[in-house]
Amino acid sequence: MLRFFSALFFLLFLFSSGYGQKGKQQLKVVFYNVENLFDTIDDKHKNDNEFLPGSEKEWGSERYQQKIANLGKVLIAIDRLELPAIIGFAEVENREVLEDLVRLTPLQQAPYQVILEEGSDPRGIDVALIFRTDKLTYLSHRAIAASKKFYTRNILYVKLLGPAGDTLHLFVNHWKSRSGGAEKTEPKRIENATLLREVVDSLFARDLSTRILIMGDLNDEPSDKSVSLALEALPVVKKPASGELYNLFYHSFEEGNGTLWYRDWDLFDQIIVSGNLLTKKRGNIPVIRPPEGHIFNEAWILESYDGKEPVPLRSYKYKRGYLGGYSDHLPVYITLQY
């Protein structure tokens, strides 16, 4: 009888730990550009005046709290059964806004650790990452300068230990914007990509089977030079090779899908992985299944203005003012299967 209850307890443990049939565990990895997640406090070291009480945007506690609640609503909806294991962010002002996000929304149901390093962006917006400490173990992190020539957001490099004893190398990016023109600013995004590729090459030089996961708002399409040539992110193939990077959103881009709207859909938010994360063979875990990225585009985070095509419902829109929405970007995600 004791052995029976011990076995029953073990099965219940596996179920509660996120394991399904055949002992598989699935972890969602999400990236979300949250469009200007600023607090209401004036930081003298940042140009955050646009998002302060009394500013033209009339940014105050009520709007800040609504923004936090909206983002939490999106993130818990990506998987109704299990909160994401890893979430990368772009456009967050500081660590405190993410601590509010995991404390004041249903994300509080899981233990999240926040990782953020302040960068040199003039507006003070940074990339960041949160992860569930009941699913993964922190190993290390550091900020990587994304440029040697101009002020910009850092690349956040985080190493986590997975549930199978695997090491994940994660890079969160927000490359140079197209403000001033796509062609004119392209060399800066190519530099962002080149510096990241140098780090990737150093990891592959030590071990071709290194598990690398790159996420971010790249401000370029999967086919643009920065992504396809400088970073060397390839379309997914049937037999991925070790030591190569594959863009999980290349085929979605070819189908005309996007994550933000400016006159047309653009697919700037992408997740790119090393071949070892796509190779399903005995003993190689985790793998990404299905081997593609997904865009979270539920109707309730979109709006159709003036009868036009539904686009992301954002917080603010030029000439229209405060909309009380979510973000001008849609989140993207993948599933790691153990």
Q: Which residues contact 142 (CB under 8 A, 6 or more apart)?
A: 117, 157
Per-residue pLDDT tens for 75-125? 999 999 999 999 999 999 999 999 999 999 999 999 999 999 998 888 899
Q: Do 46 and 123 form a contact (C-beta atoms < 8 A)?
A: yes
Residue 32 has pLDDT above 80, yes or no: yes
Q: Can you tell me the distance from the alpha carbon of 316 to that of 294, in angstroms, rounded to the nearest whole number?
A: 25
Q: Do 43 and 93 form a contact (C-beta atoms < 8 A)?
A: yes
What's the pLDDT score for residue 20? Answer: 43
What is the distance of C-alpha 167 from the center of its chain?
18
CB burial readout 233-268, b (16+ within 10 A) else e: bbebeeebeebbbbbbbbebbeeebbbbbeeebbbb
| Any domain includes 241 | yes
| Any domain includes 50 | yes
**Does the bond joining 331 to the residue before it have cis omega, within 30 degrees of 0?**
no
DSSP state of 219: S
| Any domain includes 22 | no
How many residues in the chain? Answer: 338
CATH number, domain with residue 214: 3.60.10.10
**Can you tell me whether residue 49 is helix, strand or coil?**
helix
Residue 242 dihedral angles phi and psi, to the nearest 5°: -65, 145
| Any domain includes 207 | yes
| Any domain includes 4 | no
Count of domains forming the chain:
1
Domain range spanning residue 78?
Answer: 27-330
Q: Do 151 and 164 form a contact (C-beta atoms < 8 A)?
A: no
| Any domain includes 69 | yes
> What are the Cα distances from residue 13, in Å, to 7, 10, 16, 287, 330?
10, 5, 5, 23, 34
Residue 11 has pLDDT above 70, yes or no: no
What's the pLDDT score for residue 23? Answer: 53
Q: Can you tell me the distance from the alpha carbon of 205 to that of 241, in angstroms, rounded to the nearest whole number?
A: 15
Q: Which residue has the higher pLDDT, 317 or 173?
A: 173
| Any domain includes 16 | no
